[in-house]
A and B are shown apart, each in its own frame.
Chain A
């Protein structure tokens, strides 16, 4: 199991760093709730528009 963990941790860190370096710079970290019209933590819209 230790070998599995070593592989998973390595892959995860490489993937995170790779994704960060290849994605457009975005500034402040945000949650989907920060966007207009979001009505849930995942950014789903409200049933009735406010």
Chain B
């Protein structure tokens, strides 16, 4: 391979992929126009907030999945601590506003077997899929064909999870435990920030003990701050912390319903929220709005710098892992009340105990997922 060949290929590669950059901007403009025609400025803000999140995630290469893996494999805590920056910033708005301002609420969830099992399974799936809820969105938007497979199976798994969730809830549990319910809005915020600081100290101690780095990179610090601020913007636009995977469930429900599946006997789809989401416009579901925005934002960011989706399809083993991982992520996210975003970030930033329980239950799942990766020809790192 000569230098001449490399230079030639670089010089002929377009710096901007106008086709996909144009498609991403046009698609976003269409969605924004549709919701604005209905007078829904908050919906337009959610699409644009998602768009900005897609750019931020792609540019910072902010990956929760890889951060978990680096921590478990090598003890490197910088990525996870970068993730805690997002949560701490988000909590500054979510905890007090959700407690004090009518019309706003935190991300809460019951504590019980459903949460533990769902988070554990999600942890396995996340490592096989090589992406969580947000990771799947921005890598799909970034032009990864492999993650298209993950997304498709994530959606299928999510619908299967919607059918299983009532049985898992029947196993028992207790109502959500929210710090602000016990300590008030400001006491709840202090407790939440203290829990995040404690987690950061523990992660740093583990890293230090294993001789690994625990400082987030400059990119992760900047990315974490930007994503944290965008999380607050999404919270104010939608009334609840940013969530991802309910959108997948709605898309899957609509696709399956269009194919003739009858959800009228499915308990999940008779609850008021899911029932309305299934029958209403997909653009009236808050998580779908940010999801669409995020995909197109990442697409625009990727297409603005290089030829889009120019890589070859990965080997069959990797595609199989993407499919199995997506399926497990989808099912686990529904049973465990969300992904890294909806359950971990949203939960902890709301001062809800389920966020930390989700994290602790997903951890052993991740360890198993990492061990399974070589079976599909994937590196453990």
Contact = CB atoms under 8 A, between A and B. Distances in A.
Interface string A5-29: 1101100110011011001111111
A37 to B, nearest CB: 7
Contacts of B337: 40-42, 44
A38 B240 contact: no
A31 B287 contact: yes
B364 interface: no
B173 A41 contact: no
A42 B334 contact: yes
B317 interface: no
Contact of A30 (B27, B35, B285, B308): B285
B276 A28 contact: no
B261 interface: no
Contact of A41 (B162, B246, B283): B246
B176 interface: yes
A35 B249 CA distance: 17
A41 B343 CA distance: 8
A38 B273 contact: yes
Contact of A29 (B19, B289, B310): B289
B310 A31 contact: no
Given A17-B34, A19-B254, A20-B282, A27 B40 contact: yes
Contacts, number: 170
Interface residue range, chain A? 35 or more
A42 B162 CA distance: 9
B115 to A, nearest CB: 9
Contacts of B279: 23-24
Given A47-B110, A48-B175, A31 B243 contact: yes
Most chain A CB atoms below 10 A, which of B107, B239, B271, B292 = B271
Contact of A32 (B35, B271, B310): B271
- The interface residues of chain B, by DSSP majority, are classed as helix
Contact of A33 (B173, B273, B284): B273
A20 to B, nearest CB: 4
Contact of A39 (B110, B272, B299): B110
Given A4-B148, A9-B23, A29 B286 contact: yes
Contacts of A12: 27
Nearest to B275: A43
Interface in B272-306: 272-274, 276-277, 279-287, 289, 292, 299
Contacts of B189: none
Contact of B310 (A1, A13, A33): A1
Interface in B28-86: 30-31, 34-35, 38, 40, 42-43, 46
Contacts of B8: none
A33 to B, nearest CB: 5
A23 B243 CA distance: 23
Contact of B246 (A25, A32, A35, A45): A32
A1 B273 contact: no
Interface in B170-215: 172-176
Given A41-B342, A42-B334, A46-B176, A27 B38 contact: yes
Contacts of A16: 31, 282-283, 292
Nearest to A32: B273
B282 A47 contact: no
A9 B279 CA distance: 23
A1 B309 CA distance: 6
A31 B239 contact: yes
8 contacts: A1-B309, A4-B145, A33-B108, A35-B273, A38-B273, A43-B273, A47-B110, A47-B174
What 3 A-B pairs come out closest when comparing CB atoms?
A: A32-B273, A43-B273, A35-B272
